[in-house]
Amino acid sequence: MSRRGSLAAAAIVLAVALSACGQGTPQQQAAPPPPAVTVENPVKRMVTDSDEYVGRFVAIDSVELRARVSGYLDKVHFTDGQLVKEGDLLFTIDRRPFQYIMEQARANLALARANLAYAEADLERGQALVKDKTITEQTFQQRMQAKRTAEAQVAANEALLRQAELDHHFSEIRAPVSGRIGDRRVSPGNLVIGGAAGGASATLLATIVSYDPIRFEFTMDESSYLRYERNAMKGTDVASRGSGIPVSLKLIDEKDFSSRGQMDFIDNTIDRSSGTIRGRAVFRNLNGIFTPGMFGRIQVTGSAPYEALLVPDAAIGTEQVRKFVLVVGPDNVVAQRFVTLGQLVDGMRVIKDGLTAADRVIVNGLMRARPGQKVTPQQNGVQAPQARAAGSAEAKN
């Protein structure tokens, strides 16, 4: 009997538990609210398109100092790498041989002038004698020939003296331009070989490059060149052959285009192999940091000012090769808009096509939004009016 009672009690407890489970079944859970995203309207701003190119600095003046006369190098008058001014004395070749040649040329010239004076006086006497028939006509002609010969000897010796003076002057090598000189290639005591007009056979002594102002050379593609020229034809000259077009530049370790310069030249032919044309700008180099051969990036104005729509660059998405933004429609449903991008201006991306000023672009919460999905848009941290209205209608329903 006790076993039966125990089984009956267990059955009653089980029935009560099952009844409690049936009564405690929870109701269906409510759907989660639409995700919140931050939206902004595109910003209107006057902008100017800019093109960027990579190039190198080149010196306006670059001179190889070569000897024009031969001799032993006597002195070096500069320190390697220093700044020099036009006319500064840099090298001296032993001047004594040139001094002696110059003195000899002066003596020969004095002798020739003395011979000329004697020939002139002899001819003058002969003019009176030939009238009196004291001398023959042949003798008179010989005296005239002697005078002409003496005149030629004077002219020849004058030329020899000028050449000797020039060689003597060339024994001092001075800076032809102002700039920074490199290291000396020859030490004093070495024989320096001169060349005609400082030709390639002459000994290279040093090099000088100007540093302020300095040029920056780069190449642009043919389509950009055509765009610049067509803008010039329309009267909106931005980077054509006309000089004075402002440009900006930054070095490889700089973030901003802080250096200002201007265009001064565009080449007259397009390179057949690369389809590019060479452009050139000029910059001041007051602190001397720009060095010939140094790389840089130049920014050239590419259009006249125009009003554009800008959105934060973080709002731009990529789908393969196309760019898009997510916008929220009047019904708070996300839509995808493919856009054409322009340049970056202060962290904002220029949108050339695909958006209107009234579009609400998602700028925060992109990972929570999908095309066709309903969202709760907020502007500057406040729920957008369209979202509040939609929420109120859902509450009434």
Please state, for a pLDDT cut of 70, what percent of the chain lies above it: 84
Coil/strand/helix, residue 279? strand
Cα dihedral across residues 132, 138, 143, 148: positive or negative: positive
Higher pLDDT, 90 or 17: 90
Q: Is the pLDDT of residue 389 over 50?
A: no
pLDDT in tens, 116-174: 999 988 888 887 787 777 778 788 788 889 999 999 999 999 999 999 999 999 999 99
Looking at residue 171, what DSSP letter applies?
T
H-state helical runs in the chain: 2-23, 96-131, 137-170, 222-233, 385-396
Mean pLDDT lowest for which of 59-68, 69-78, 127-136, 281-290? 127-136
Q: What is the mean pLDDT of residues 2-25?
A: 54
Higher pLDDT, 390 or 338: 338
Q: Label the pairing between strands 246-250 and 214-221.
A: unpaired
Q: Look-up: residue for tokens 């950009």?
A: 224
CA dist., res. 329 & res. 359, Å (int): 8
Q: Is the pLDDT of residue 76 over 80?
A: yes
Report the alpha-carbon angle 152-155-160, nearest 5: 125
**Cβ atoms of 58 and 217 closer than 8 Å:** yes
Locate 263 and state its tokens: 């265009």
Coil/strand/helix, residue 6? helix
Q: What is the mean pLDDT of residues 253-273?
A: 89
- H, E, C per residue of 69-102: CCEEEEEECCCCCCEECCCCEEEEECCHHHHHHH
Average pLDDT, the chain: 84
Q: Which domains does the chain have, with CATH numbers?
A: 37-45+307-387 (2.40.420.20), 50-60+214-301 (2.40.30.170), 96-170 (1.10.287.470)
Higher pLDDT, 321 or 171: 171
Q: Is the pLDDT of residue 12 over 70?
A: no
What is the DSSP annotation of 187-199?
Answer: -TTSEE---GGG-
Coil/strand/helix, residue 1? coil
pLDDT of residue 244: 67
Encoded amino acid at 301, one letter: T
Mean pLDDT lowest for which of 4-8, 68-72, 232-236, 302-306? 4-8
pLDDT band, residue 393 (cuts 50/70/90) = very low
- Nearest C-alpha neighbor of 74 from the set 99, 93, 101, 98: 93
H-state helical runs in 171-301: 222-233
pLDDT of residue 138: 83
pLDDT of residue 281: 93
Instruction: At 123, give phi and psi (nearest 5°).
Output: -70, -40
pLDDT of residue 286: 87
**Cβ atoms of 92 and 171 closer than 8 Å:** yes
Q: Count CB neighbours of 336 within 10 A.
A: 15
pLDDT in tens, 158-187: 999 999 999 999 999 999 999 999 999 999
Please state, for a pLDDT cut of 90, what percent of the chain lies above it: 49
Q: Is the pLDDT of residue 303 over 80?
A: no
pLDDT band, residue 288 (cuts 50/70/90) = confident
Q: Is the pLDDT of residue 381 over 80?
A: no
Locate 294 and state its tokens: 């140094």
pTM above 0.75, yes or no: no
Residues in CB range of 102: below 8 A, 6 or more apart: 161, 164, 165, 167, 168
Q: Is the pLDDT of residue 52 over 80?
A: yes
pLDDT of residue 209: 94
* Residue 297: alpha-carbon gap to chain centroid: 6
Encoded amino acid at 72, one letter: Y
Q: Is the pLDDT of residue 75 over 90?
A: yes
Q: What is the mean pLDDT of residues 246-264?
A: 90
pLDDT in tens, 188-202: 999 999 876 545 688
Q: Is the pLDDT of residue 8 over 60?
A: no
Q: What is the mean pLDDT of residues 230-250?
A: 69
pLDDT band, residue 2 (cuts 50/70/90) = low
pLDDT band, residue 63 (cuts 50/70/90) = very high
CA dist., res. 179 & res. 176, Å (int): 10
pLDDT band, residue 19 (cuts 50/70/90) = low
Radius of gyration of the chain (CA): 46
